[in-house]
Structure 1
Amino acid sequence: MSEHGQLRVRAMLVYFGVVVFAIAIAVRLFQIQLVEGDKWRAKAESVSTTWRTVQPERGHIYSEDGRLLATSVPEYDVRMDLATDALTDERFNANIDSLAWHLANLFADRTKEEYRRDLTDARHRKERYYLVKRRASHTQVQALRTFPLYRDGRFKSGLVTEKRLVRMRPFGRLASRSVGYVLRDSSALAIGLEGGYNKWLSGVTGRRLERRLAGGVWMPIDDGEGVDPEPGSDVHTTIDVNLQDVADAALERQLLKHGAQYGCVVVMEVATGYIKAISNLTRVDDSTYVEALNYAVGEATEPGSTFKLASLMVGLEEGLINPEDTVDTNRGRVRYYDRIMKDAHEDEYEKVTVRRAFELSLNTGISLAVTKAYGKEPKKFIEGLKRFHLNEPTGVMIPGEPAPTLRGPGEKGWSGVSLPWMSIGYEVALTPMQSLTFYNAVANNGRMMQPQFVSHISRNGRTTEKFEPRVLNERICSDKTLVTVRGMLRAVVDTGTATNLKGAHFPIAGKTGTAQILRNGSYKQHGLSYQASFVGYFPADAPKYSCIVVVNGPTMSGIYGNVVAGPVFKEIADKIYSNRLELQQETLLAQTTGPRSPVSMSGSASDLRTALEGLGVPFTLEGEGEWMTTEARDSLVAVRPRKIPSDAIDLVPNVLGMGLKDALYILENRGLHVRVQGNGMVKRQSLPPGTRAFQGSTIVIELT
C-alpha cells in the first residue's frame, strides 16, 4: 500500500474513533438527564441544602438580689441579597447614595464612598449573601431597619440579619471564674456555674434548612418546616454582689501589698452553707490580677496550721487529748526519727498546755499531743479524721473539685513521720472550700452543710426547682468538744496568733495558717515559698458567717496568716457588720443586758422593730414614724420617733447613731455625695445637722 493510502486509513480510524466517542457522550448525557435525572437532581439538592442546628438562648444567671451575673446578648451579621428580583435597578440606584451615607455614619468603619462602591460591585456580581457588617449590636440593627431600602422589609430590600447570642458578664471579673463558661464545641470545657448547671441553662436546640452558596457560606431558607429552639431556664445564685465586690477588692489589695502569686476568699452563710462571695485572683504581671483559675474549689494544697483544729478534735472526741495537759516543746525543736520539727519562733516557749499550743499555733505542741495519743495506733487518728468527712469532696455543683488527700498506714507515702507532720497540716491536702466546710460545721453547732451556690431555678418568672440547704453530717462531734474548740478558736483572736483581728463591735473566732509550699516534691528547691491563710467565723458567740482567705506565694511585707490573710477576713467581716442590722442589734442587746450605761441606735422603724422582735428584746414604742431612735433602759429598750424632715431638702439631715445603710439612703436621697470612714454606726458627720448644703456637696461620715 502506498504511503498516501496508509495516511487515508489512519485518518478514517481517527474519524471513526471520534464519532464513537461523541455517540458515547451523547448516550450518557441522555441517560443522566432523562433516565437518571431525578436521582442526580435529588443528590445535588442534598449537597447544596441541609438541616442545621440552631442554638437556643442560654438562661440568665442572677445574684441573690436579682442582678445579672451572666446573660446572653444578641449580635448580628448583617447581609444583603443583591440579586433578589424585588430589588430593581431603579430602586437600587435611587437609594444607594443615602443608604451608603447612613451605613457610614452608623458603623464608622468605611466611608460613604466605600460603602457605595462595595455595594454596587456586589450587585454587579449578583451576590446573594453579601456581608455588610459582622457582629452588629441589637441597637444598630434596629437603626438599620429605618434606613433607605432596608425599611421596605427583607423581601423588597434583600436585607438579611443573622442573629447569634454572645455570653456576657455585666460585673466583669467579679466571681467570673465561679460563674464560668461553656464552650459549645467542647463538652470537656464546662467551667463554674455555667458548667455545673448547664443542663438547666442550655435549653433545647432547634433546626432550620440552609442552602450553601459560593464560598461555602450557608444561608437560611424559610420553608416553614424548621423547629424553633427552646431557651434555657434561669439560675438564681446565693451570691451577694455588694459583698462580692468587697471580698474581691480586699483580696486584691493584700495580694498587691505582699507581692503574692494568687489567692482566694470564700464567704459562707453558717446555717445554710450558701456561698455569699467567692473571689479567685491570679497575678499576670507586677500589678495586675485576674480571675483565671478557681483555686477555692479546684486546688487542693497542704493546709498547714488550719488543720490543727481537726487533729485536736479527733483526740478530744475520744478522750485521748486534754486541752489542759502540758507538753514540753523543747523550746520549739522536736525530733521525729531523722527529721526535726520547728516552731515559727524558736526559744520562746518550753512547757505549755495543749490549749495554749493551739492558740499560739505551736507545731511542736500539737504534734506531741497527737503523737502521744495515736503514736501506737495512727490508723485510729485517720479514722477520726474520716468521721469529719475530711477524705471526701463536698459535692459542690461546680466542675473540678478534687477529692482530699488523706492517706493512712500501709498506703504509699506513709512513713514514721507522717503522723506528727499530718497533725500540723502536712502530708494531707484540702481545697479551701473543703477546709471552710469543716470550720463552718464547728460554727454551726456540729452540723456540716454542703456548700451551695444556687437557691433555685426559674422559667418565665416561675420557680421550677429549689435547692434547699443540704446537710452532709447532722453531728460531726459532741457538744463537749464543740464548746472546747470554739473557746480555743475565740482565744486565737483574743490572745493568740491573730490578735490583730480583734474588733470593737463583734468577736471573731478562727485559726491562722502558714504553710511551706511543696515544689516538685521538695520544700527547699528554688527557695522557700509559703501559703498564708485564715479561716473562721463571726460573730464568735452566735456565728452567722464563716470565711476562708488563702494567699499563695507572698514575697514581701510578711508571710504569716494573721498578717497576710487575716486583714482580708476582718475587712469582709466589718463590711458585713456595717450592712447587717441584725448583727448590730445583737451588739446592742449585749450592751443593754450588761451593767454598762445605756446606748442609743437609730434607723428605719421597720428594720429596728423587726430586729428587736426577732432577737426577743423587750421594747416599748413611744410614737410612730419612718425613722426611729432607741434608748436602752433598765429592763427594756425605748423606741421613739426620730424627725428627718422630708420637705427641707436643702438642709443636712441628722444621721448620727444610724447604721451605714440607713445613713447612705437618707444622705444620698438629699443629693449629697457621701464619703465613709470606718465601720459600725455613725458617730460624726462633717456637715452639721440643720445646715444648708447644695446638691452634690460632699459629706464625710465617720463610723465607730
Structure 2
Amino acid sequence: MRTSFNRRLSLLTFVIIITGVLLFARLASFQFQLDVAAYLQRLASSNYRIINDRFPERGRIYDRNGELLAANTTEYRIGISPVYISNKARLARELAEILGEDEERILQLANSRAPYELVTRQPVSAEVAQKVARLNSLAVTIDPEPKRIYPHNSLAAHVIGFVGWEGNLRRGYVGVEGGYNDDLAGQSRVTERSRIPFDAILGEPPPPGRDIYLTIDRSIQHLAESELYDAINRYGATSGTIIIMDPRTGEVLAMASYPTFDPNVYFRANQESIRNPAISDTYEPGSVFKIVTAAIALESGKVSEDSTYYEGSPFRVVGGRRVYNWDRAAHGSQSFVDILVRSWNLGTTWLAVDVLGPTEFYEGLRRFGVGQPTGIDLEGEAAGILRLPNDLYWSDSDLATNSFGQGLTVTPLQMLSFVNVIANGGQMMQPHVRLKTVDGDREYYAVPAAVRTPISADVARRITDIMVQVVNIGEGKDARVPGYTIAGKTGTAQIYCATCPGLYDPELSMATFVGFLPADEPRVSILIKLDKVGRFASETAAPAFAQLVKRLVVLMNIPTDAQRAELRAQGGDTSLIVKR
C-alpha cells in the first residue's frame, strides 16, 4: 500500500516538474520573441534611416542699398548604400565615368559593410546629379547641398570673403564670410532621413542663416576698384589700396585692393591675393603720418601755428642717425604750418625731440591707437608695429623717424582712421562694414560708436585748416578738385630692404594720399596707396585722388562749396543734402 502511494507521488511530482519546465520554456520563448522583434525593428531602422545634421541655407550678403553680393545655389553629394547594390562592379564603373572618380576606389566603397558611403569628395552640379539619377539605382543617394555664389565675381572680394571647406563642412573664410560666419551659417538641426533614394526627409528644415547688409555701396566700390586699377597702370605701381569712409560714423563705403581674386573660384587664387591688404598688410606710411605728430604737438599746448624753428643744416643727427628733408636741403626759419604744407622731416623731428620728448610723444601715439588694431568687423586685421622707449629694439633715432612715419608700421585702414580723427572733430568712430543684420522679420542695426578722442575739437579744426593749405598751396596741390575745399596730406615712404644700402630701397617708394571733403563739413574720407612707385606721392597718389573725387562727388551727390553756401544763406541744413 505504501509502495503504491509512493509511486503515485513520484509520478505526480514528475508531472508537476515537467509542467513547470514547459511553462518556463514557453515564457522564455515568448520573451525571446519580444526581444527578437525589437532587435529586428532596430536593425530595420538602422538600415533604412540615418540620423544626421541638416544645415540651413546660408544667409545672404547685400550692399547698403539692397544689391545682392553673395547668394546660394544648389549642388549635390552622391552616396551609396552597399547592401542594396546587386552588381557592384557595374555600378562602380558607371559612377566613375559620370563623376570622374577612381573606379577602384568606388568599388572598395561598394564592398564596404557600412550602411552608407559618401562617393563624391566634392559636391557636383545639377547636370551631373541628373546623369546619376538616370542610373535608376536604389542603392544611390543624391543629397542636395547649398553652394555659395558671388554674382559680381571679384567686386569687393576682400571685404566679402568666400565660403570654403573645413573637413566635410562648409564655412566662411576672411572678410564678412569669415567674421560673421556664425550669423550667416545659422544653426544646424538633427534630422532623420531615409537611405532610400527620393524618400522624404523627416522633420522641419532648420531656419536659414541671418542676412547681412554691408555699409559698402556697390557703385562706390566699383568706382574705387576701377580708379585703383587705372592709377596702378598709369604710375607703374605693383599693387595698391583705396579706402573710402564716412568719418562721422566709421562706415566703410568702399575698400578696394589690387591684386584681387574671384571668390567663386577662390581655390585658384594664391594666398597673397586672398589676404586683404587694407587691414592685413602693414607699411611705413611716411609723411601722411605727420598730421598725427602735428596734432599731438598742438594738443600739448606747447606750440601754436605761429611757432617757428630754424633749419641751419640740411641734416640733423639723432641717435647717431642723420635726418634729412625730402629735398636734402635746409630752409632757415620755418613755421609750424610749414612743417605740414612743405612736409619737412626736420620740422616733425623738432616737434618730437625738442618740443614733446619721448614720453609725451609716445603717449600721444597710443591715444591715437598706433600699434593697435582698429577692431573692424573683418577677419585678419593686423595691429601694426610701434616700438616704445625701453623696448629691446627701440633707439633714440626712432623718436625722430617715427615723427614722420618711418620706423613704425600701420595698415591703410589705421592710417585713414587717424585722419578721421581730424575730420570728425577729434573723435575716432569705430570702423565697421556691417550696416544691419536681418533675422526673419527682425532687423539689428550697427550703432556708430566713438572709440577714441585723442585730441580736442579745436585742435582738429586747426589741423584741418593747415591740411587745406597743403592742398591749396603745398605738396598736395595736384589733389585739388574745382568747387570743393579739400583737406589732405601726401606721403612718400621709403621701403624697407634688408639687402639695400641703408636698409631702404633707393629707387622705389610707397605713395599715399589721405584727404577728406568738404573740409568744413566732411562727408567722405579717402586713402589712396600705390605700392612701389618711382615718383613722389604728390605726382602719383595726389592726382589719383583728384581723379577719383571728380567722379565720387557726382555719384554721392555732394554739393559744391557754393551750393552749400547758398543753401545756408536760405536757412537750409546742408547735412541733409547728401544721399547714398
TM category, shorter: 0.7 to 0.9
1:252-306 per-position Cα deviation (integer Å, ceiling 9, x unaligned): 111122332221111101211111001011289xxx9995321111122222111
**Residue 180 of structure 1 pairs with residue 156 of structure 2:** no
- More helix, by proportion: 2
**Residue 567 of structure 1 pairs with residue 543 of structure 2:** yes
Matches within 5 A, 1:163-174: 163-174=144-155
Taking structure 1 as reference, are residues 386 and 134 closer, same or farther at Cα in structure 2, changes over 3 Å only? closer
Once residues 438 and 174 of structure 1 are traced to their aligned partners in structure 2, the CA distance between those partners, rounded to angstroms, is 27
Q: 2:252 aligns with which of 267, 272, 275?
A: 275
Q: Give the drift of 1:484.
A: 1.8
Q: 2:125 aligns with which of 136, 150, 163?
A: 136
Once residues 338 and 585 of structure 1 are traced to their aligned partners in structure 2, the CA distance between those partners, rounded to angstroms, is 50
Match of 2:320 in 1: 338
Match of 1:541 in 2: 520
Q: For 1:272, give the aligned amino acid.
A: T
* Residue aligned with 2:512, SS: strand
Match of 1:241 in 2: 218
Matches within 5 A, 1:573-612: 573-581=549-557, 583-584=558-559, 586-590=561-565
Q: CA RMSD in A?
A: 4.3
Match of 1:70 in 2: 70
Percent identity between matched residues is 25
Q: 1:194 aligns with which of 173, 177, 185?
A: 177
Once residues 450 and 325 of structure 1 are traced to their aligned partners in structure 2, the CA distance between those partners, rounded to angstroms, is 34
Question: Is the CA contact 1:207–1:227 (under 8 Å) kept in the aligned structure 2?
Answer: no
Q: For 2:419, give the aligned amino acid.
A: Y
**Residue 258 of structure 1 pairs with residue 235 of structure 2:** yes
Q: 1:430 aligns with which of 410, 415, 427?
A: 410
1:183-223 per-position Cα deviation (integer Å, ceiling 9, x unaligned): 34169973101111112101111345578xxxxxx876847
**Residue 457 of structure 1 pairs with residue 432 of structure 2:** no
Q: Give the drift of 1:471.
A: 1.2
1:407-443 per-position Cα deviation (integer Å, ceiling 9, x unaligned): 3211121112111111111222211111111211211
Q: Give the drift of 1:129.
A: 11
Match of 2:454 in 1: 476
Once residues 219 and 409 of structure 1 are traced to their aligned partners in structure 2, the CA distance between those partners, rounded to angstroms, is 71
Question: Is the CA contact 1:359–1:497 (under 8 Å) kept in the aligned structure 2?
Answer: yes
Once residues 280 and 475 of structure 2 are traced to their aligned partners in structure 1, the CA distance between those partners, rounded to angstroms, is 28
**Residue 389 of structure 1 pairs with residue 369 of structure 2:** yes
Question: Is the CA contact 2:280–2:411 (under 8 Å) kept in the aligned structure 1?
Answer: yes
Question: Is the CA contact 2:479–2:544 (under 8 Å) kept in the aligned structure 1?
Answer: no
**Residue 379 of structure 1 pairs with residue 379 of structure 2:** no
Question: Is the CA contact 1:456–1:465 (under 8 Å) kept in the aligned structure 2?
Answer: yes
Deviates more, 1:527-536 or 1:418-427: 527-536
Question: Is the CA contact 2:493–2:509 (under 8 Å) kept in the aligned structure 1?
Answer: yes
Gaps of 5+ in 1: 1-34, 86-107, 111-127, 212-217, 595-610, 618-658, 662-704
* Residue aligned with 1:429, SS: coil
1:608-638 per-position Cα deviation (integer Å, ceiling 9, x unaligned): xxx9854399xxxxxxxxxxxxxxxxxxxxx
Taking structure 1 as reference, are residues 306 and 226 closer, same or farther at Cα in structure 2, changes over 3 Å only? same
Once residues 254 and 464 of structure 2 are traced to their aligned partners in structure 1, the CA distance between those partners, rounded to angstroms, is 24
Q: Give the drift of 1:458.
A: 0.7
Question: Is the CA contact 1:208–1:221 (under 8 Å) kept in the aligned structure 2?
Answer: no
Taking structure 1 as reference, are residues 521 and 180 closer, same or farther at Cα in structure 2, changes over 3 Å only? farther
Q: Give the drift of 1:45.
A: 8.0
Question: Is the CA contact 2:139–2:196 (under 8 Å) kept in the aligned structure 1?
Answer: no
TM-score for both structures, normalised by structure 1? 0.63
Q: Give the drift of 1:503.
A: 1.2
Asked which structure has the greater RCO (Cα within 8 Å, sep 6+), the reply is: 2
**Residue 445 of structure 1 pairs with residue 420 of structure 2:** no
Q: For 2:479, give the aligned amino acid.
A: L
Matches within 5 A, 1:275-314: 275-282=252-259, 292-314=274-296
Once residues 616 and 403 of structure 1 are traced to their aligned partners in structure 2, the CA distance between those partners, rounded to angstroms, is 34
Deviates more, 1:565-574 or 1:311-320: 565-574
Question: Is the CA contact 2:171–2:178 (under 8 Å) kept in the aligned structure 1?
Answer: no
Question: Is the CA contact 1:511–1:534 (under 8 Å) kept in the aligned structure 2?
Answer: yes
Taking structure 1 as reference, are residues 527 and 516 closer, same or farther at Cα in structure 2, changes over 3 Å only? closer
Once residues 303 and 196 of structure 2 are traced to their aligned partners in structure 1, the CA distance between those partners, rounded to angstroms, is 75
1:554-577 per-position Cα deviation (integer Å, ceiling 9, x unaligned): 2xxx43222222233223322221
TM-score for both structures, normalised by structure 2? 0.76
Q: For 1:258, give the aligned amino acid.
A: Y
* Residue aligned with 1:441, SS: helix
Matches within 5 A, 1:490-569: 490-520=468-498, 524=502, 527-528=505-506, 529-554=508-533, 558-569=534-545
* Residue aligned with 2:125, SS: strand
Question: Is the CA contact 1:535–1:546 (under 8 Å) kept in the aligned structure 2?
Answer: yes
* Residue aligned with 1:406, SS: coil
Question: Is the CA contact 1:450–1:471 (under 8 Å) kept in the aligned structure 2?
Answer: yes
Taking structure 1 as reference, are residues 109 and 428 closer, same or farther at Cα in structure 2, changes over 3 Å only? closer
Once residues 495 and 613 of structure 1 are traced to their aligned partners in structure 2, the CA distance between those partners, rounded to angstroms, is 31
Question: Is the CA contact 1:321–1:370 (under 8 Å) kept in the aligned structure 2?
Answer: no
Q: For 2:279, give the aligned amino acid.
A: V
